[in-house]
Amino acid sequence: MALGFASKQNLTDLEDASSTSPTTTETLVVYNLSYAPEVRELIHAHWFLYPPPSYAWHLALAVIVAVLAFISVTGNAAVVYIFAVTKALRNPSNALIVNLAISDFMMMATNCPPYFFSSLQGRWIFGKEACRFYGFCGALFGGVSILTMAAIAVDRYLVICKPFLIMKSAMTRQRAKFGVLAVWTYALCWAIPPLWGVNNYVLEGFLTTCTFDYLDPRDKSRIFVFSMFIGNYVTPLSIIMICYSMIVWEVYSQRKKFKKAANNLPKSKKNNPKSNEDEAKQRKEIQTAKIAVVITALWLFSWTPYATVALIGIGTDGTLLTPVVSQIPALFCKFAAVYNPIVYAVSHPRYRQALRKHFPFLALCIRDTETDRKQAQSSTTARLPSRMPVQQQMSQSSMGDSMVSEELDVETLEPAKPRVAVPRAPVIKSQMRLPHPVVPQVPNRRLSSNVGYDNPVETNELHIKDNVVSYRKYEQPEDQQKSLSLATISRAVTAASGNVEQSLPSPLDKVDLSPTTVV
């Protein structure tokens, strides 16, 4: 049996022999495994120089990939479902969260099954076109995830640090759609060129996964890989780090101001409700800063190793890139699809409340906090217009337990329903002047008087409802109190109805009238 790897000279002889052989059924032996001629061009000569990995490596990777795929697919599917069925979460800014969940779901759904079965076999078993499709999906959906995280960072920065700017250019449905479309278009610009020959999607590492060829010595390929390194790693990383650094600085500044103001307060005011509210807001701001740091650290953990591998591939002869060195960073990229739904969605209190509602069996895994209950109770009123200044609404919503947007959604507000004219019973009017105006009230049957009075305070009301005359008197300051005698009420009823003959018996407040007494 062949050793499974070759020297550079033997490799050159093998390439020459395979290129001049007239047969089309010849197979290539790499890592003691046979590959069909169509797969031969997907294997870079660099990987022939290393001994084959043990099957234990393949089996371990298969188990890890299966676990990651299960967590990511179910988690991201739950995110999409919860945001779809929960009206309070369907606002334009949260469209970025849904877009992130969709891209992560698609990446794991298209990449993990081939990865898993190939690892069980110890080699790529799906052919050339499947490898190209695998690499294209990884580049497209991975790029969308990276760029969406950068867009979320920008949105959080504007909401928290630039509330006046966000007032002028708030995220609307049209802008959210444009942003999502721009992210997908940008990612496509990097995923398509390898299909057109600028670069290639080839096997890497353990020869069980496919990616763009960072070992291609052609100048145009090196330029493409370096441009991809700048466009899909350096640029999003810079955006994320700058935005979250500004958020942390803003939180630090607000905390410093709060401490200074708290120190200047007298002891009697430090325990009042306003002070406690400010302290709770400060805790939320600290939580926001922590989440910003965690997001940046996880992003670096997931994408930096693989970006480093690509940079080494185009900048050196590749001697540092062993199969293990290239395969493990490729696995780290899959972790991003696992933690994204946790960081961006599950940390959202309103999302957790909806998750417990639709998936009760998760109640033991998800803590029910007081914040979650308050957020759930306010989910309806949060979408209604408020008299509170917009900046205050922005700041209160943006400093929640997570950095998922909860700001007011202008376009999704339902327009106020026009008031429908309710049919009213005949209104009996009189020109009689009373000491106090008689104010019409709830419909059915009402008795009113077009009277004038120097003091317009509405203190006395006289109604006819269900054939009962009701008299109500409100309290006023002593200097403004004026009595309305029952005799005066009786005269008002008589003059207004035209045929009411009886007077109201004092001391009663209600008198039954026959149906014919009301006009």
In a domain, 311, yes or no: yes
Query: The tokens 């998750």 sit on which residue?
Result: 355
**Residues 320, 437: one domain?**
no
Please list the pLDDT of the chain residue by residue as tens digits (519 residues): 333 444 444 444 444 444 444 444 444 555 545 677 778 888 888 888 888 888 999 999 999 999 999 999 998 998 899 888 888 888 877 888 899 999 999 999 999 999 999 999 988 988 889 999 999 999 999 999 999 999 988 888 888 887 766 555 556 778 888 889 999 999 999 999 999 988 899 999 899 999 999 998 889 999 999 999 999 999 999 999 999 888 888 888 877 777 777 666 665 555 555 556 666 666 666 776 777 788 888 888 889 999 999 999 888 877 888 999 999 998 998 888 888 888 877 777 788 888 888 877 765 566 655 555 555 554 443 343 333 443 444 444 433 344 444 443 433 344 445 555 555 555 444 444 444 444 444 444 444 444 433 444 444 445 555 445 554 544 444 444 444 455 555 565 555 555 444 444 444 444 444 443 333
**Residues 195, 103: one domain?**
yes
**Residues 138, 234: one domain?**
yes
In a domain, 327, yes or no: yes
- pLDDT given for residue 486 in this prediction: 54
**Encoded amino acid at 195, one letter:** L
**Residues 380, 461: one domain?**
no
**For residue 99, what are the contacts with CB-CB under 8 A and spacing of at least 6?**
144, 148, 180, 183
**Encoded amino acid at 88, one letter:** A
In a domain, 358, yes or no: yes
- pLDDT given for residue 143 in this prediction: 92
Compute CA distances 130 → 127, 190, 262, 458, 462, whole Å. Answer: 6, 19, 63, 81, 84
**Residues 383, 431: one domain?**
no
471 phi-psi bin (left φ>0, alpha ψ -120 to 50, beta other): beta
Q: Are 111 and 138 in contact (CB under 8 A)?
A: yes
In a domain, 395, yes or no: no
> What distance in Å separates the CA atoms of residue 213 and residue 224, rounded to the nearest whole number?
10
Peptide bond into 507 cis (omega under 30): yes
- pLDDT given for residue 418 in this prediction: 52
**Residues 256, 118: one domain?**
yes
Where among 333, 368, 390 does a domain terminate?
A: 390
- pLDDT given for residue 491 in this prediction: 60
How many domains would you assign to the chain? 2
| Domain region containing 496 | 427-517
**Residues 453, 380: one domain?**
no
Where among 375, 390, 405 does a domain terminate?
A: 390
**Residues 475, 344: one domain?**
no
Could you give the 3-state DSSP secondary structure of residue 4?
coil
Where among 390, 419, 451 does a domain terminate?
A: 390
- pLDDT given for residue 300 in this prediction: 87
CATH code of the domain in which 220 resides = 1.20.1070.10
In a domain, 409, yes or no: no
In a domain, 315, yes or no: yes
**Residues 159, 105: one domain?**
yes
In a domain, 106, yes or no: yes
> What distance in Å separates the CA atoms of residue 34 and residue 3, rounded to the nearest whole number?
13
- pLDDT given for residue 253 in this prediction: 83
**Residues 51, 125: one domain?**
yes
Q: Are 449 and 458 in contact (CB under 8 A)?
A: no
CA angle 466, 512, 421 (to 5 degrees): 20
**Residues 118, 171: one domain?**
yes
Compute CA distances 153 → 392, 403, 457, whole Å. Answer: 21, 9, 55
> What distance in Å separates the CA atoms of residue 194 and residue 196, rounded to the nearest whole number?
5
Q: How many other C-beta atoms are found inside a 10 Å radius of the C-beta of residue 63?
A: 13
**Residues 314, 201: one domain?**
yes
In a domain, 400, yes or no: no
Q: How many other C-beta atoms are found inside a 10 Å radius of the C-beta of residue 440?
A: 15
Compute CA distances 262 → 248, 265, 280, 376, whole Å. Answer: 21, 5, 13, 31
